Structures are given as structure tokens and as C-alpha cells.
Structure 1
């Protein structure tokens, strides 16, 4: 549903609205090689925390980011862990900025002027009044311009690089539709449904695996890692009991939108992640893997739904299906479709829930008071691929959107604007434009499947890209623990 961000300059402009201007913007210095005088000044005044390729991260930058996070409120780790986490974030931002500049990603002065004028107009200020407000919060209008320019450059570079890494095959689309129909058919059925004929020892086979995934970033601190492992262990204990794994996964995802439940469908061992296959190699049909699987993305609780023989040149055996099962082949069906648009603020480090909810509530109040147009707000502030079209998501049928979004949208009358809604993608503001009864064609199902797969792949592609950037950069950490005012 929600595409990767394609107009991140809208994100940059939206950060102005609120208690502070760009309190959590990327405080990177760029990739311009410093002169000896500048280098000496940085070392003497701020103190260098890390050398990143040809640039620096200073202790003053860490102090500023920590202060901004503390000002936002919310639960933060202990000071030492917080400084290390902030330093790592600044290093990543520095690398992105350097690479973006080397690749020629720029923002012209005229573009920047237009964005700043839009910010002023959005806040019902003249440019002169905006400068006064910036001086009271940022201290320098020129610094504000520099930070805004850097944030837009990084956002454009990130979009270009990550989007290019996502590839979706027709086979993946076919499997997605088939799996979805099979999951729908399994609702209300017992976990003890008939199993396929197992493969003889050593013979080719296909394995139907489902997972409950608890995401934890590789860069997360020990506390977050321990919390993720604790939750995964608890789910594994429940899964080994007398419960339906499909229902357990659905409930876990409902209670915590960050947790994802996924049926991978029938796959040969070479098409399963190696970590998964090693964990379920000797696990029989209907059994749960003995241990939680740890990957760079988080923790996985696995269950083998079925194992079946794969005979070369012979038709694949069919799994026994309940009488009311949904056909595995997509059919044209009549559904109620909703035309809606939204503004999305994606979940990310530095954006706490209270801040995202407050910003969207402000946009909602403006639309309801008819002082702002929803589409224009979406173009400027939404962090979704639909931003260019005013947040328009097109006609969507039942189940095409994540449950939280779908439920909130279905409660709205035509023309209504929702309160802020949280999903696994972030925070949404939703407006319903129209409804209709329509036939959902096979081709439309394929379009929806492709969009869903892209969204699912985006986060993993983004994290892989960040790790690749970090691994290929030359980074030397000098002193991250002491604030800038402390003597070296």
C-alpha cells in the first residue's frame, strides 16, 4: 500500500511545525574536505568524536542531537548508550551526505527558497517573520538553510538508492496471491488439516513455513535486543502449546503493529533463507522450530505448516482444502472499494509517537476548519510515494490495506478526516473521498500484490543499504563519551 518515500523534501519542510524547528534534523557537516584552519578550529572548540572518510562528527553535534531528543520527551536509554546511539546515527548521516554529494545530488538555491517560502506560507508567516522565529530557535537563518538543504539531499539520495535495489518477479506476485487465498481459506479451520504426502528421505521436497517476526534493528542497544528476544521466546512457548499458530501470529501482530506474521508458502529449501532452513531442517509438518531464529533484522518464530514431495516432471500434489476454501486461482469478485488519501509520517529514529501524532492532529484541524487543503498538505508533508498525487491511494478493496488503516478508513463517512492512526508503517491521517461497488479483477489483484511486496521489501532493503554504507566507509571513533565542553 504505502510506497517508499519519494518526496522527502516534504518531510524536511514539515519538521518546522511544532515546538522547535528541525530539532532532529541530520546535523552532518558534508563531505567537503576541511582546511587545516577549519580542522584545527573543530578540534579545539568542539572536539572530534569520529573521523568519517574526509569529514568529522564533533562532540558538539552529539550534544545538540542528545539535547533535541531530551527536549522531545519520551523514554531514552542511559546517557552513555544514548551518546553511542546518536554518534552512530550521525556517522550514517555523514556517510550518506558525502556519497550524495559525490553522486551529484543537489538542491538549488531557487528550490530551497521555494521550500522555505512554502514553510512560511504554511505557518501563515512572512519570510521576515519566519527568520525571526528561526533566530529564536535555531540561532542562525543560514544554518537553518544549510541543515534543510542537507536533509533534502540525503532524502533524495536514499530514495534513489533504495528503490533501485528492490526487484519483484512475477513468480513472487503469483505466490503472494496464492498464499493470501490459502490464508483466507484457512480461517476457521483446524491446525490439524490433512497434510501432503511427505518426500522420501533425500528426495526433493517443498516446505510450507510461517513465521512470527519481531523486528529489532542490528544497531539497537542491548536493552532493545533483550526485549525483542524476550517477546520472541514468549511467543515460541505459546506456539508450542495447544494454540493455532495462524491465530497466534495474527493476535501478536494486532497487539503490536511492529510484529509481523507471514506465511511464506511452499518453497524448496534453496528458496528459504538459510537461517530458516537450518532451524526447521528436521522439523516435521505441523511442528514449531525448537528455537527462536536470530537474524540481522530481528527474531523469528517459525512453524512448518506442511512438507510435501516434489516430483520432477509431475504435477505438484494438491493440499486437501476445506469445503468453503477460497480458490487458489484468483477470481473476479464484487467488492466494496474505497477511494482515500492519506498523509504518512514513517516510523524512524528521532520521531517519537507523541510528536507524529501532534503534527498530524494539527493537519487534521486545519482541514476540518477549511484553512488548508488535504492534498496540498500531503504533497508537502507525507513520507509516502503517494505524496506527489496528494496522498491519493486509489481504489482499495477489503484487505488491501494494513488492518489499522483499513478499520479506521471504514469508519469514516465520505469527506471525513480521521484522527491520527498508527500502523506498522508509521502514523497516518486519512480522508475518504468516495466508495463504490466494483469487480476486483485478477490484474488489479496483481497490482496490489506487487505494491504490498514492495512495501514489505523496502525496510529490509533500506537496512541492508545502511549496513553496506557503514561497512564500506572509513570510520575512526576518537571520543564519543565526553560532551564538547569537557577538556580532551
Structure 2
């Protein structure tokens, strides 16, 4: 009798284990890889989802600009390199204690909205209507501002300067240097080791000569840069931005100052490889002054629990307190319903005429 029950128990246990194993295998079969690390950057990582999203963004921008897309593997390699550089810069910014205030971030977002003929609230609504995340955009813009700070090597600030100080500066040697001609330069970099054998050098020279000829025959420099350049700005059409001749490598400046707008150079050899330079724009020593205003506000909105009339009454009360000499910053912290500027005393930053 004992053996009979033992057999039944053993059989039940075997069936149970089989069902458990079958169930586990069934569950495991449904597991999917949602994301993965494509690059480790010191204490940070670049995820595949980041790379894919940036690839889609860049493809959309290039298409809207009418630029022919480079091969997918070239595009992905260039974008991954850029994401790695951005991650390094963000880490440098974090170590240096670079912070972007909500007021500065709101100012940048307001400028983006203004460029799209909208105010910030309309811009938010537009993003929501297109299923785009305002929170994600806000985070991306914050990162871009940190990267800009790191690239410039300084923390931006608005400083009040007297007219006499401006005049003294313009008459100084440094001031005259600042007003020198500036050049908007693009480049295609064909990477090559300085110790490369002659046959490799000749191959790169041939490739460079072919690119120069293709440009002269009408191909877009931006397209050629995006496809063939090894420079980190390749996807921006190889743009190096506006530079004075003194800010360009001497190899470039000696050539650029003699070029006409739209002209490209012959191959220029450096330790990094061969460069093709294009002068896209040039501007002279024109000084433009612009008055800016430091703007603060207190945002009060009607809602389900406060009618429009009650809102107007509250606004009038706050206005009267300001007339009576109360501190604007304190009232903004106390009453403003704008989370971005409230703790900054309502500050929206410096604005140009017509911006508000």
C-alpha cells in the first residue's frame, strides 16, 4: 500500500514539475529585448533607443532640407559618434556644476516657440496635438544648453555695461580684433594617419579630387560632407560656424581670407588627413547694438475654483501692492502660477524688442 501511494505521489510530482517547466518556457518565450547599450561612455551609456530616435530625427531634417541621405551605416556611425561626444560633454558639465535655471530654459523654449510664430502656451498645445512630449523637449533643450556652456567654456550672464565702457572697448586693440571680418566656413575631412603609406595617401587624394570635381559640377557641398566627411559636424553640412581668421587654424585662414563666397579650396593636408574648405558666407566689421529688457512676470490664471472676476480682483490686489512698494520677486514667489519662473522671482530673462 505504501508503494502504491509513493508511486502516485512520484507521478503527480513529475507531472507538476513538467507543467511548471512548460509554463516557465512559455513565459520566457514572450520575453523581448526592448533596449540595449550601444556605447559605454565613462560613467554613462548610449542606448540603442537614443540612437534610433536621433537617426529618425536627422533623416527627417535632411529630407526636409532636400539633402540626399548618406548610406544608412555611415549615418548611424556619425550619429553614434555625436551621441558619445554629447554624453562626454554632459558629464563634463555635471562635474563642473553647470546648471540651467528654469527661467533660462523657459527663455530658450520661448525663442523656439517664437520662431514658429507661437507663444509658449500655444507651442505646448501644438506639441500635445502632434503627440510630441513637451517634457521630453524641455529635457533635450536643457541638455543642449549645458553642452553649449561646456563648448564655450563659460557660464553665460547678462552684465550691465555703461556706454563709456562700450566706447572704450571698441577703441581698444581687443575691440578692433572682435570687429574683424568673419567667415562662415564648411569643411570635408578625409581622415588619414600622418604615418600612412604613400599608396593610402594617393587613394585619399584621388577621393578628395573627385569630391572637388563633383562640387564644381553642381553637387551639394552639404550632401558631400554628410556622406564622406569624418568630421563630427558632417551632418550639419560640415559647418564650422562663423569664425574670425584668427580663430581658424593657420592652414585654413591663409586660404579662407583669399576665397570668394561659394568657392572651395584645393586639398589641404594636416596631421588629421586632407581637408576641403568652402566659404559659404562672409561678413564685415559691422557693429549692431540692441537694447534688451530684463523681464519678470506674475502669472495668474482663472480656473474651476477661481472665476475670471476673482482672478481680475487678485491681479488688481497684487498690482496695488507693487505700487505701494512691495517687492516684485517676493510677490511672484508667493502668487505666480508659472512653475518655471516662480522661484526665480518671476524672471523670464533678457528679451529683445518685439520678443514679448
Give the TM-score normalised by the residue count of structure 1: 0.30
Indicate the structure (1 or 2) with the bigger Cα radius of gyration. 2
Give the TM-score normalised by the residue count of structure 2: 0.40
Structure with the greater relative contact order (CA < 8 A, sep ≥ 6): 1 or 2? 1
Q: Which one has the bigger helix percentage?
A: 2
